Amino acid sequence: MQKYLIQGGSRISGEVRVQGAKNSSLPVLAATVVCSGESVLHNCPDLLDTEYAVKILEYLGCQCRREGGSVIVDSSTVSRWEVPDRLMREMRSSIIFLGAIASRCGRCRLSYPGGCEIGQRPIDLHLLALQQMGMQITEDHGYLDCRVDGGFKGANVVLSFPSVGATENVILAAVLAKGTTVITNAAREPEIADLADYLNRCGARIFGAGEGTIRVEGVEKLSACEHTIIPDRIVATTYLTAAAMTSGSVRLTGVDCRHLSSILPLFEEAGCEVRRLPNEVILETSRRPLPIGLIRTMPYPGFPTDAQAPLMAMMTMARGTSVFVENIFENRYKHAAELQRMGAHIKVEGRVAIVEGIQRLHSAEVAATDLRGGAALVLAALAAEGTTEVGRIHYIDRGYDRLEQQLTALGAHIKRLD
C-alpha cells in the first residue's frame, strides 16, 4: 500500500491547470452506453474511479482506450447487462450505470455500490424514480435484478431531495424513453449540465439542466460524439487551499469561476486576495487565514460537501474559531480525528464541527479515511512543521490526477512511497 511523505513549511506558489471533473466524467462515461458509435471524451482525468468506470464499460462489451487526456469509448459492441459485484464495490457512483444499461438493454443486474464510507447514500431515490418510468425491480441476495419491458416510459418524477445521482439516472433512462419525462426538484450541479450537454450533442432533447426542473423528450436513437469534460471545482478548491494555508499564491487555469461562486467568497473572507479572470483564478496571501464564522454544506449552488474537508484543514490554522455544519452526509468528519493527531483543535457534535485555529500544526503519521478527507490531510501536512506520513492514499487517487506531481511543481516537498 502506498503513502505520501510530506515535508511541511514550503510556500505553495505557481500555476496549475485544473483537471477534468471526476463527478462529471463518471456519468458521462456511463452515458456512452446509450449512444451508438465511438465517443471521444477530452479532459477525462486519469483516476482510480475513471479506471473502474472504464473496466465496467469493457465488461459490458465496450471497446475503450485512453490517449493522453482523452478516453475513447465505442459502445456499439455492448453485449452484457450485468455488472459484477467486484466492480460495483470499488466506487459509490457505480449505481449511475443502472439507468444507462437498462435504457440500452431493457435489463440490468448489479449489486449495491461501494466506495468511501462517508455516510448513508441511499439509492431508494434512484429506484423509486425508475419504477415510475416502468422499471420492475427484484432484490436477490444483495443484487438488484431490474427489467424494463418495452422500454422506459416518460413520467413526472418528483425527487424528495435534489440527489445528483438520482437526477443523472433519470436523465439516462429518459433520453430513449417513450414520451416526455419531467424531473422536479432536480439537482442543479454543473456536472448535471455537463452530462446533458454531452447527451444533447448525441441527439438527446434535454431542457433545463442546471435548473430545478428538467424536461427530457425521449428520442429513438443517440449517436456518439466528441465532448470535453468540465473542470473539477473541488480540485480547484484544493489548490487554492494549499496556497492559502502556506501564505502562497497560485494561478489556476482552465477553470470556470461560475462553478466556484459559493467557494471563492470564503477565501476572501479568510483574508486572501482573489482575482477572477476568464477561465482563470488567482489567489494570493501573505498571512495566516482569518476565521470563517459559519460554513454550511448545501446542495448546489450552496457550499459543496466535497469542499468541507479541505476548508476545515485551512481553518485549523485560522486566527480564531470557525463552525462547520454538514447537511448532506452524517458521517463526513472522519478526517477531524486525523487532523487532531497533527495538533488541530476540533470538537465534533453530530453534524456540527467547531474548529479553533492554532498557529502551527505539527507532523504525525495519519491515514486517509476517504477521498476529500485524504486531501485535507495532505493540505495540513504542507503547512505543518516537520515531515508527515499520509497513508491509505488510494482514496486520494480516486479523485486527484497525479496530485503529488502537481504539488511538487508548485513548490511542495512530497514523495509517493510504497
Q: How far is CA 337 from CA 76, 266, 313, 374, in A?
A: 48, 24, 12, 12
Instruction: Confirm if 368 and 348 have CB atoms less than 8 A apart.
Output: no
Q: Assess whether pLDDT exceeds 50 at residue 361.
A: yes
Give mean pLDDT, residues 368-394.
97
Q: State the pLDDT confidence band at 210, using cuts at 50, 70 and 90.
A: very high
- CATH code matching the domain that covers 3-18+231-417, chosen among 3.40.50.720, 3.30.70.890, 3.65.10.10, 3.40.50.1100: 3.65.10.10
What is the model's pTM?
0.96
DSSP one-letter string for 247-302: T-EEEEES--GGGGTTTHHHHHHTT-EEEEETTEEEEE--SPPPP-SEEEB-STTS
Q: Assess whether pLDDT exceeds 50 at residue 372.
A: yes
Q: Give the residue numbers of the binding site for UDP-N-acetyl-alpha-D-glucosamine.
A: 92, 121-125, 306, 328
Give the model confidence (pLDDT) of 66-84 as tens digits: 999 999 999 999 999 999 9
pLDDT of residue 119: 42
Smallest Cα–Cα separation from 64: which of 51, 54, 79? Answer: 54
DSSP state letter for 19: P
Domain 22-228 CATH superfamily: Enolpyruvate transferase domain (3.65.10.10)
Q: State the pLDDT confidence band at 142, using cuts at 50, 70 and 90.
A: confident
Q: Do domains 3-18+231-417 and 22-228 have the same CATH topology?
A: yes
Angle in degrees, 0-180, between the axes of helices 164-174 and 124-132, rounded to the nearest 10: 30
- Determine which helix (DSSP H) or strand (DSSP E) holds 6, and give its type and residue range: strand 3-7
Q: Locate the domains of the chain by residue range.
A: 3-18+231-417, 22-228
pLDDT of residue 329: 86
| Cell matching residue 325 | 455544519
Higher-pLDDT residue of 365 and 111 is: 365
Give the model confidence (pLDDT) of 182-209 as tens digits: 999 999 999 999 999 999 999 999 999 9
Q: Assess whether pLDDT exceeds 60 at residue 357.
A: yes
Angle at CA of residue 197, ends 234 and 251, nearest 5°: 35
Could you tell me what percent of the chain has a pLDDT over 90?
Answer: 92
pLDDT of residue 116: 47
Q: How far is CA 407 from CA 135, 357, 389, 417, in A?
A: 46, 24, 16, 16
Give the model confidence (pLDDT) of 323-341 as tens digits: 999 999 888 999 999 999 9
Q: Which residues are catalytic?
A: 116
pLDDT of residue 114: 55
Q: Cell 461501494 appears where?
A: 114
pLDDT of residue 89: 84
Q: Assess whether pLDDT exceeds 50 at residue 386.
A: yes
Give mean pLDDT, residues 2-30.
98
Q: Assess whether pLDDT exceeds 50 at residue 257.
A: yes
**Helix intervals (H) in 84-232:** 85-88, 97-105, 124-132, 164-174, 190-201
Give the chain's length.
Answer: 418
Map residue 55 onto helix, strand or coil.
Answer: helix
pLDDT of residue 230: 98
Q: Give the residue numbers of the binding site for phosphoenolpyruvate.
A: 22-23
Higher-pLDDT residue of 409 and 124 is: 409
Distance CA 414, CA 9 (A): 11
- Determine which helix (DSSP H) or strand (DSSP E) holds 207, and give its type and residue range: strand 205-207
Higher-pLDDT residue of 343 and 86 is: 343
| Cell matching residue 53 | 468506470
Map residue 119 onto helix, strand or coil.
Answer: coil
pLDDT of residue 293: 92
Give the model confidence (pLDDT) of 396-408 as tens digits: 999 999 999 999 9
Give the model confidence (pLDDT) of 88-135 as tens digits: 888 768 899 999 999 999 999 998 775 444 344 468 899 999 999 999
